[in-house]
A and B are shown apart, each in its own frame.
Chain A
Amino acid sequence: MTTKLFGEKIQRVEDQRFLRGNGRYVDDVLVGHDVLHAAVLRSPHAHARIVDIDVSAVLDLEGVHVVWTHDDLTGAMAEPLPLLIPHPQLTHGRTQYALARDEVNYVGEAIAFVVADDRYVAEDAIGRIRVDYEFLPPVVGLEAARVAEHLVHADVPGNVAARMEQENGDARAAIASAPHSLSLDLTIERSASMPMEGRGTVARWDPDTGRLTVWTSTQTSTGVRAAVAAKLGLDLAQVDVITPDVGGGFGVKINHPWPEELLVPLAARSLGRVVKFTEDRREHFISSAHERGQVHHVEVGYDDDGRVLGLDVQFWHDNGAYTPYGLIVPIITSTQLLGPYKPGSYRVVFESLYTNTVMVTPYRGAGRPQGCYVMERTMDAIAAALGKDRTEVRSVNFIQPDEFPYDQGLIFQDGRELEYDSGDYPASLEKLKALVGWDEFPAFREEMAREGRRVGIGLACYVEGTGVGPYEGAHVHIETSGRVKVAIGLTTQGQGHATAFAQIVADTLGVPFANVEVVSGDTRRMPYAVGTFASRAAVMSGSAVHLAALRAREKVLRIAADALEASEDDLEIVDGVVSVRGTEASIDLGTVAVLSNPLRYAFDEASKAATQFSVGDPGKPPVAEDDEPGLEGKDFYSPERSTFASGMHAVIVETDPDTAEITILTYAVVHDCGRLINPMIVEGQIHGGVAQGVGGALLERMAYDESGQLVNASFMDFLMPYVTEVPARIDIDHLETPSPLNPLGIKGAGEAGVIPSAAVFASAIEDAEGIPITAMPISPSELFGLRLSHPSPPAATPARRPARRRTSTRKAGTRTAGTRTAGKPAQEAP
């Protein structure tokens, strides 16, 4: 293929409508038409039995059309929502009902559903519904979940949804016989995707055709379609799901079906009216999903060079009240924790625990930020213990470029082997050191110290499995106008798919970029698809688009060769015209499209050429036996396993000696996502990821009180970064180690920017302060508190205890070189 557009910073085609205010987000759908609006009564209590629901004050309210509670639901709608990703170790998976049946398990759980003339009236109605609750003790936080004095679900002993263990080698034996060992306890708090647009769904039932159209702000239109059909008892062919423009996803919109994604279509069909639900911000905080909350215990044994001989990690994952998305997040933590390293042996055990809080599903990074934080904190601790440079310890543990493919000996989130396809970690580290000025930092630190300023430098490395299966597809249709219509099945939330995939098609087919139009997430155009998550769109759909365009190209050449009476080998396609190399003979793609579809009826000048008295060999059938009419190509890409992107971040921070404010002075990123389709878009993804990472490391947390109320459920109190909180500049360098697994050598890039944030800031703040940083995020007041509790030189101070505490005898981890932690961990395995 030519590489004219692949790799170029092409301006985005989707921007025109966004910039003019002509985007079509879900709340914009059917504005100006006769639309009814839904609102949801949500539980104000974290844990309670529902004794009685009285809707009598609402029934006669003017403008109210529907008031439903669980009692009004029948059949599959009355059953629990699907458990999307079952797993043998998820022994106690639980999902909520579309409307709570007998019990509510988090503040925000849906109890009643109202449809009214407008949202104001619907909310009036919600306010008049009376619910009698019998309170149950709430389980809030991992400590309470582990102690299990109270249970979230009465039939789930110990609040344990799942326990899972993987081991490669004998980690405990390796640690026991290692020259050195240490242990660490590491905590990370909850945050959330928090897209600027919340969830939303619109549905219209067409009684004339017996079809349901659903517009929903989702990361998987095919997933929602299947769920709606199953729950409403419709044939799949009766349900069309259209993903309009989506105002950000970051993971939260991959979970489905949300209660409203079923209730809105059900109401639309019942009422024969268009029904719309638009989540407000508080609802998004308390009824969509969160992520990140985990507590980890690490035991590691290493040699004099810092080489990890044995790594034993136990962690506890707060999955909230329900587990619709299975064990994906903790499985990713447990596997991606290894990053670019090859420990001699590795054992990981986790428990996924219920709490009476909003459920947990993947948020950009999806368990990787936690894993990276654990591994990188461990690397830093080893370096500190040995008195070595942090980059040296990492270097001796890197998988080397000649060791690929490298099998980590574990099973990844897709059920496949965790086998890295390619990468060059030593080269990345060299680039990073140069980019951030690692070797010059000591001089800079001294210079700052002379001014009374305190600075620290940190780094963190990650590997990200991207482009997980099972598959994605694409359909390429060359119209008789010569324009190329491309449909992909997965959805788009701002990643510029319409631009990047048009670049691929334009190159593969040899057509002008402006002639290519890409549609995504519309089940009418591509009914087979999986979804947009796990940094998979470029890898999966990008590859599928390329393959489908190749198929269309084959057909173009076949028909054109026939028409031009030339050999296919002598043809080239440039700017939408097929020509015989070195001659004047040519035919444009539009005409080829005309010829591809033998016609009986002409409808315009061009189509006359394809009618039965104009074209074709009378001795042959108009459409050959192994062919079909139309100039189209369709194909699917289904890789054996994920492709592994990687990267390294470094940050220089300044901490204020008085106020403990943390200021970012330099932020550097080295990023390897294989071949770049559009570097402008990739850098945009990195910028956004870094900003989200800054939020997660320094600002954002879900503040639950002991009764399970989320006390910061607004943008006033949940601190998301404004421009004033992000680094003024991010220095980016790319390394391109192509993936051997797909035809374009692409690896995913969407999540990368956020993965190493907690790790890199912990590393830098620890470096600045000389105090072990073992709990993230960290605010100025927490750092101030740490200073008070670490008045002496911190090198020999025990690691800070994590939030939870089970036994008073448990040993704190030690950071001292050569000190062996007693033979086995004092803390029992989960």
Chain B
Amino acid sequence: MTEELHEVRLVVNGVAHQVRVPARRLLSDALRHDLGLTGTHVGCEHGVCGACTVLVDGRPMRSCLMLAVSAVDGEITTVEGLTERDGTAEGRLGPVQQAFAECHGLQCGFCTPGFLTTITAGLRDNPDPTEDDARDMIAGNLCRCTGYANIVRSVLRAAEIAREQA
């Protein structure tokens, strides 16, 4: 049984990659195992926990519910793409990342990439969220460590940082 492989062009964090994958390969697996972008994490593989959330054309998508072959043509942003260029090799933390560091918005860090991408998109839609908006923004992502309190604070702080930087 040899699986048919498909040539797929994935544009991730502004870089085009060419991969050969079976039709059934999940986008999350392609990102992690074919492209080596292991910042995207897989927590449930049934689209509930949100850890694998990436942005496709700016919209948060569960990469465990997408096939890699269906992600052609899309501009994908993963957690690795949230840092900003500042001339250093590692880049500067983006506003959401910076806010998480300041507010202790993460503990084990496993669910964090999904929150960071989700909130990045959320703040683009709503740059000035209330606390209720912030809770709403993250209401589809599971975290087992933090109890969410500091993640809510991080959302509000990220909006603040983004405004300061604007």
Please give me the residue from chain B that is nearest to A284 by CB atom. Answer: B44
Q: Is A401 an interface residue (CB 8 A)?
A: no
**Which of B41, B93, B102, B131 has a CB less than 8 Å from the CB of A197?**
B41
Query: Could you tell me which residues of chain A, from 22 to 54, have a CB within 8 Å of some CB in chain B?
Result: 22-25, 27-28, 31-32
Please give me the residue from chain B that is nearest to A60 by CB atom. Answer: B1
Q: How far is the CA of A162 from the CA of B55 in the complex (A)?
A: 53
Known: A20-B83, A281-B46, A684-B104. A196 touches B93 (CB 8 A): no
User: Would you call B112 and A494 a contact (CB within 8 A)?
Assistant: no
Stretch from B68-76, B121-129, B139-147 contacting the other chain: B139-147
Q: Is A687 an interface residue (CB 8 A)?
A: yes
How far is the CB of A806 from the nearest CB of chain B, in Å? 37
Chief secondary structure at chain A's binding surface: loop
How far is the CB of A652 from the nearest CB of chain B, in Å? 17
Chain A contacts for B82, CB-based, 8 A: 21
User: Would you call A19 and B49 a contact (CB within 8 A)?
Assistant: no
Q: Is B156 an interface residue (CB 8 A)?
A: no
Chain A contacts for B107, CB-based, 8 A: 248, 494-496, 684, 688
Q: How far is the CA of A691 from the CA of B152 in the complex (A)?
A: 14
**Which of A14, A22, A723 has a CB less than 8 Å from the CB of B135?**
A723
User: Would you call A723 and B48 a contact (CB within 8 A)?
Assistant: no
Q: Is A478 an interface residue (CB 8 A)?
A: no
Interface 1/0 per residue, A704-722 and B, CB below 8 Å: 0000000000111000101
User: Would you call A196 and B108 a contact (CB within 8 A)?
Assistant: yes
Q: How far is the CA of A494 from the CA of B113 in the complex (A)?
A: 15
Interface 1/0 per residue, B20-51 and A, CB below 8 Å: 00101100010011001111111111101101
Q: How far is the CA of A197 from the CA of B144 in the complex (A)?
A: 10
Chain B contacts for A196, CB-based, 8 A: 41, 43, 49, 51, 108, 110-111, 142-145
User: Would you call A19 and B97 a contact (CB within 8 A)?
Assistant: yes
User: Would you call A723 and B152 a contact (CB within 8 A)?
Assistant: yes
Q: How far is the CA of A376 from the CA of B48 in the complex (A)?
A: 35
User: Would you call A715 and B139 a contact (CB within 8 A)?
Assistant: no
Task: Count chain A residues whose beta carbon lies closer than 8 angstroms to a beta carbon of B.
Answer: 62
> Which one of B82, B97, B109, B140 has the highest number of Cβ atoms from chain A below 10 Å of its Cβ?
B109
Q: Is A461 an interface residue (CB 8 A)?
A: no
Known: A723-B138, A726-B148. A19 touches B106 (CB 8 A): yes
User: Would you call A21 and B80 a contact (CB within 8 A)?
Assistant: yes
Q: Is A789 an interface residue (CB 8 A)?
A: no
Q: How far is the CA of A248 from the CA of B141 in the complex (A)?
A: 16
Q: How far is the CA of A145 from the CA of B139 in the complex (A)?
A: 40
Known: A19-B93, A197-B43. A715 touches B49 (CB 8 A): yes
User: Would you call B147 and A247 a contact (CB within 8 A)?
Assistant: no
How far is the CB of A771 from the nearest CB of chain B, in Å? 28
Q: How far is the CA of A683 from the CA of B149 in the complex (A)?
A: 10
How far is the CB of B25 from the nearest CB of chain A, in Å? 7
Q: How far is the CA of A281 from the CA of B36 in the complex (A)?
A: 22
Q: Is A379 an interface residue (CB 8 A)?
A: no
User: Would you call B41 and A247 a contact (CB within 8 A)?
Assistant: yes
Please give me the residue from chain B that is nearest to A194 by CB atom. Answer: B144
Q: How far is the CA of A753 from the CA of B145 in the complex (A)?
A: 11
Chain B contacts for A714, CB-based, 8 A: 44, 46, 48
Chain B contacts for A194, CB-based, 8 A: 144
Chain B contacts for A684, CB-based, 8 A: 104, 107, 145-147, 150
How far is the CB of A518 from the nearest CB of chain B, in Å? 16
Chain B contacts for A28, CB-based, 8 A: 32, 38
Q: Is A274 an interface residue (CB 8 A)?
A: no
How far is the CB of A612 from the nearest CB of chain B, in Å? 40
Chain B contacts for A561, CB-based, 8 A: none
> Which one of B2, B38, B51 has the highest number of Cβ atoms from chain A below 10 Å of its Cβ?
B38
User: Would you call A248 and B147 a contact (CB within 8 A)?
Assistant: no
Q: How far is the CA of A115 from the CA of B71 in the complex (A)?
A: 29
Q: Is B61 an interface residue (CB 8 A)?
A: no
How far is the CB of A67 from the nearest CB of chain B, in Å? 16
Please give me the residue from chain B that is nearest to A717 by CB atom. Answer: B48
Q: How far is the CA of A197 from the CA of B151 in the complex (A)?
A: 19
How far is the CB of A282 from the nearest CB of chain B, in Å? 8
User: Would you call B45 and A280 a contact (CB within 8 A)?
Assistant: yes
Chain B contacts for A691, CB-based, 8 A: 146-148
Q: How far is the CA of A681 from the CA of B106 in the complex (A)?
A: 10
How far is the CB of A495 from the nearest CB of chain B, in Å? 7
User: Would you call B24 and A494 a contact (CB within 8 A)?
Assistant: no
Please give me the residue from chain B that is nearest to A28 by CB atom. Answer: B38
Known: A31-B33, A250-B144, A716-B46. A19 touches B135 (CB 8 A): no
User: Would you call B41 and A25 a contact (CB within 8 A)?
Assistant: yes
Chain B contacts for A14, CB-based, 8 A: 109
Query: Could you tell me which residues of chain A, from 235 to 293, have a CB within 8 Å of some CB in chain B?
Result: 245-248, 250, 280-281
Q: How far is the CA of A723 from the CA of B152 in the complex (A)?
A: 9
User: Would you call A730 and B135 a contact (CB within 8 A)?
Assistant: no
How far is the CB of A14 from the nearest CB of chain B, in Å? 7
Q: Is A690 an interface residue (CB 8 A)?
A: yes
> Which one of B42, B83, B149 has the highest number of Cβ atoms from chain A below 10 Å of its Cβ?
B149
Would you give 18 A-B contacts (Cβ < 8 Å), ordered by A?
Answer: A11-B102, A12-B101, A14-B109, A15-B100, A21-B78, A21-B113, A32-B36, A61-B1, A62-B2, A245-B108, A248-B107, A281-B46, A687-B148, A688-B145, A688-B146, A689-B147, A722-B142, A723-B152
* 9 closest cross-chain pairs (CB), A and B: A21-B39, A247-B110, A494-B108, A18-B109, A691-B147, A687-B147, A494-B107, A715-B48, A21-B79
What 9 additional pairs, Cβ within 8 angstroms, besides A14-B109, A124-B1? Answer: A12-B104, A20-B39, A20-B93, A21-B82, A27-B32, A31-B36, A495-B107, A688-B145, A715-B49
